[in-house]
Amino acid sequence: MLATCAVCDHFLLGDAVFDCAVIDEAMQAADPLLLVPLGRARVAVLAGDPCQLGPVVTAGPEVEAALGSTVFDRLARAGGEAGAQATSVMLEQQHRMHREIMTFPSRSMYDGRLRAAPSVVGHSLDDLGVAPDPLRPRPLWLIDTAGKDWSEQRGSGRSAGSSRDALDYEPGTSLTNIPVFPFDPSTFNPGHAERIAAETRRLLSRGLPPTEIAIIAAYSAQARRLRELLRAERAAGLEIGTVDGFQGREKEAVIVDLVRSNEHGEIGFLANTRRMNVALTRARRFLLVVADSATLGSHPYYAQFLAYVDEIDAHGSAWSDDAPPL
């Protein structure tokens, strides 16, 4: 039987008990939901990533705190020591990311244990017939907007700046299937949005189909702004959304907008490294990150990321490159 966790409680199943339940993306299943299939199985296999996002909880901070830690998360972090009946195994070989895209997530979140399968270790957009870009010569590239005075702007909705800022909804798309909060203006950055629109058109001008590109914005208001700027491209298949709507998916090329730019170094829920780990692991062949190093650099995770892109010489300044289409 193939079903969601909730459907496992359907009355048509009666008292049926299965020999084994295999639960995918178990990290995203809140405990009450996960207990439904577990109650019908003699043995359970839970698959997921404890370094990525947990359940989407929108009922307020108290409920979020209560449901944010899942059975899967607790078992995985216990390393199988939670009881004789639980064993934990990490799958170390990944089949998505170019080695340079993979290396930072591996170091920062997985103790350096990830390795790229031979089929993806060096794959690139060139393999798809996409024209090379001398200004973006590596599979991972950072455009640093520090000093450009592209300051973020924030709405006054009651959840602006909270985790709800990350939730986004656009009917008819699979990328943004998260509940909507239309009166929460969220955080946005007009300068970043204009730059990312230019970067997207530059990528399209190289010959990559829009269906193979995704833009992931850290904040829902920024995603909405980008959709307005790239209406024609979206009609042709370009996807734009937030991190929460893109977990478990991939594209050949991904542009990540970290949005935050302020003189106080405030980064809000960007400090949630699980959320950023999702964003930085969706690209197969090309990952472009647009970020303000002056704002983000005081946080250890982003300081490590900035050090990595410097190590592999994979960064440019928004000051020196206006990214006209090729």
Q: Is there a shared CATH topology between the 5-89 domain and the 94-153+186-317 domain?
A: yes
Give percent of the chain above pLDDT 90. 70
Tens-digit pLDDT profile for residues 42-83 = 999 999 999 998 887 666 667 666 677 788 888 877 765 555
Contact 213, 239 (CB under 8 A): yes
Q: At what angle do helices 99-109 and 300-311 cross, to 10 degrees?
A: 150
Look-up of token digits 């490159």? 321
Pairing of strands 283-291, 140-144: parallel
- The CATH-assigned architecture of domain 5-89 is 3-Layer(aba) Sandwich (3.40)
- At 301 the pLDDT is 98
CA 84 vs CA 73, 78, 102: distances in Å: 17, 12, 33
Give the model confidence (pLDDT) of 238-283 as tens digits: 999 999 889 889 999 999 999 999 999 999 989 999 999 999 999 9
Name the token pair of 198: 């230019």
Closest CA to 120 of 284, 294, 296: 284
- pTM for the whole structure: 0.86
CATH number of 94-153+186-317: 3.40.50.300
Distance CA 247, CA 263 (A): 31
Q: How many residues does the chain have?
A: 326
pLDDT digits (tens, 9 = 90+) for 272-313: 999 999 999 999 999 999 999 999 999 999 999 999 999 999
Taking the domains of the chain in order of start, what are their residue ranges? 5-89, 94-153+186-317
